[in-house]
Every structure is written in C-alpha cells, then in structure tokens.
Amino acid sequence: MRSSGKSWLLLTGCVVFYVIYLLFGALVFSTIERPMEEKLLQELEVLKQEFLNESCASPASLERLLVKALAASRSGVSVLGNSSSPSNWDLASSMFFANTLVTTVGYGNTTPLSATGKAFSIVYALIGVPFTMLVLTVCVQKLLYPLVIAPIGLLHRLGMRLRPATLVHFLLLMLLVILGFFVAPAAIFSTLEVSWSFLDGIYFCFISLCTIGLGDFVPATQLWHKYRQLYQIGIMVYLFMGLMMMYLLLRTLHKMADLHGLTTFLQLPRCEESDQDEDREPIVETERDAVAPYPVEKTTSEALDPGSQSSYNTINKD
C-alpha cells in the first residue's frame, strides 16, 4: 500500500475511533448523571412549592429572583452572606482570575461583569496565553537535562539498554508527577476545603492540570478563609508548576515514542530537535546502521554535559 493511502487509512481509523469514543462517553455520562439530574430537579420543585405555600410571594416573583441569583452566581457573585463580604475582585482574587485566564484553565467561577472587563479579557488573553506557553516551554527545556537526560544516562551507564531505560524513566517520572502533583495536593485540598473529599481533590487536580477547568470545584472561594489571599497565591504557584510538569511528561513521552518508533508507525511528526542537535553526530544506532557501527567520538560524560542541548541523542548506545 502506498504511503499516502496508508496515511489516509490511518486518519480515517483515528476519526472513526474518536467518534466511537465520544459516543461511548456520552452513553456512560448519560446513564450515570441523568438519574441524578432528575432527582435534583424533583427536590428543587418540592422546595419551590413549599416556599410558595409558606410565603406570600408569587411564582413569577420567585422566578425573577432565582434568575437574577443564578446570573449573579455564574459571574462569581455569591447570593449568600451579606454586602460586607470580601470582594471577588480584590488584588489577590483578580490575580488568581488572571492566572486562570492565561493558563487556559478558566474555571468560570468568576467572570467579568462589565463590557469593558470582557473586552480587556480578550486582549489580555491574546497576549498572555502565548507568553505563558513560551515561559512554560523555556522552563521545561531547562528541566530536560536534570529530570530526563541525566536519569536516562545514569540507567544506561548502569547497564540498561536505552529503550528499556527510557521506559523505566518515564514510568518513574509519571509516578513522581502523580504523587507530587495529584495525590499530595489532593490531600491538602481535602483538608483545607471542608466540603471536599480526597476524590474531589484528585478530580480538581486532574481537571486543572489538564486545563479542562470545569469550575465545579474551585479552592479558595470560601470568603471566611483566614489566609484566603495567601491561599490563592499558593494555588497559582501550584498551577504553574503542575502545568510545567505535565508538559515535561508529555515531552518525555513524545521523545520516548520517537525512540521506540511509535511516531513513525503512526506517521506523526518527531519531537523537534534544535539546530545544535542537527550538527551533533547521531549516537543512538538505528537498525539500518547496525551493519557498520557508527563511530562515537564523544564519551558518555561529555555527551551528558549540563551545558549541552538536551536530547536522547546525547546518550551513548553501546
């Protein structure tokens, strides 16, 4: 089969599988959530009738109140408490909103109320989103050597072949990310947020670090928190570091897929290397080069020098 025909067949298979996966998700979510929705609607209708029976309010007045309250709640204005409650737009809360905007997490618990604020959000995100991605990319590039290249080089020097070494390293890195950015934060959030369970904490961490940001669980929204502003700053630091580690994990997975030939099999682009890597002699021997071993001019210690560009190609293969 020609390469172009194989490519179109692969694309068609991916699209079909994607649609099937969406249908599967829709079926599962509908089966699980629809009974809960109907139960909640029944409970609300009962409460609404009880309120109307015990008060002199008309159904139309109650509907107007509920519509206004729900609209305010969607914008982050709580209908509970009183007017002396702290603002959702103080400096720390506004910075928290800006952070969720430029990281594309966007919980939606607080949104601009004015037309001017909405217009500024567009301009601010237009500049802030790519700049945030640039900063994350630079940070990940600096972490590639100490967290990826050096550990793989160590496993390789200990006698492990390069492909198994990359797999072991990826699993260890994934375990580190799960423990450090999902399990531990979830335990902290479930302690600080009295209404959250540990599962709620895990759910929030996953939704946040995948930049899904559904907004059904958002920490530091309780106005009675004594150190609410400091808490919000801590969450901002967590989000940035968590997104950075998720990006590093994906970058490592992509490089490992390159080495194992998965990207070639799926006809995907290889993980981009810098111009410096293009000038460096390939050290990882491929199958077609196996007949005549490629001469290695650099030692392992030289290839793993911290000043060198991070790449799997900097690791010697015996």
CB 145 within 8 A of CB 255: no
Domain boundary assignment for the chain: 1-75, 87-267
Note the pLDDT of residue 105.
92
Q: Which amino acid is at 293?
A: P
pLDDT recorded at residue 123: 95
State both tokens at 39.
């139960």
0.75 exceeded by pTM: no
What per-residue confidence (pLDDT) applies to 312?
58
Reading the chain (318 residues) residue by residue, the pLDDT tens digits are: 566 777 788 778 888 988 998 999 999 989 999 998 899 888 888 888 888 888 887 888 878 888 887 777 666 666 665 544 567 788 888 999 999 999 999 888 888 888 899 999 999 999 999 999 999 999 999 999 999 999 999 998 999 998 999 999 999 999 999 999 999 999 999 999 988 999 999 999 999 999 998 888 999 877 667 788 899 999 999 999 999 999 999 999 988 888 888 777 777 777 755 434 433 444 344 444 433 332 333 433 344 444 445 565 556 555
3-state secondary structure string, the chain?
CCHHHHHHHHHHHHHHHHHHHHHHHHHHHHHHHHHHHHHHHHHHHHHHHHHHHHCCCCHHHHHHHHHHHHHHHHCCCCCCCCCCCCCCCCHHHHHHHHHHHHCCCCCCCCCCCCHHHHHHHHHHHHHHHHHHHHHHHHHHHHHHHHHHHHHHHHHHHCCCCHHHHHHHHHHHHHHHHHHHHHHHHHHHHHHHCCCCCHHHHHHHHHHHHCCCCCCCCCCCCCCCCCCHHHHHHHHHHHHHHHHHHHHHHHHHHHHHHHHCCHHHHCCCCCCCCCHHHHHCCCCCCCHHHCCCCCCCCCCHHHHCCCCCCCCHHHCCCC
- What architecture is domain 87-267? Orthogonal Bundle (1.10)
Distance CA 259, CA 286 (A): 10
CA pair distance 256, 163, nearest whole angstrom: 8
Q: Which two tokens stand for residue 222?
A: 């309780």
Nearest Cα neighbor of 170 from 251, 252, 243 is 252
* Those residues with Cβ within 8 angstroms of residue 144's Cβ, 6 or more apart along the chain or in another chain: 248, 251, 310
Q: What is the pLDDT of residue 302?
A: 42
- The pLDDT tens digits of the residues spanning 151-167 come to 999 998 999 998 999 99
The predicted structure's pLDDT at residue 176: 95
Predicted confidence at residue 245, as pLDDT, reads 95
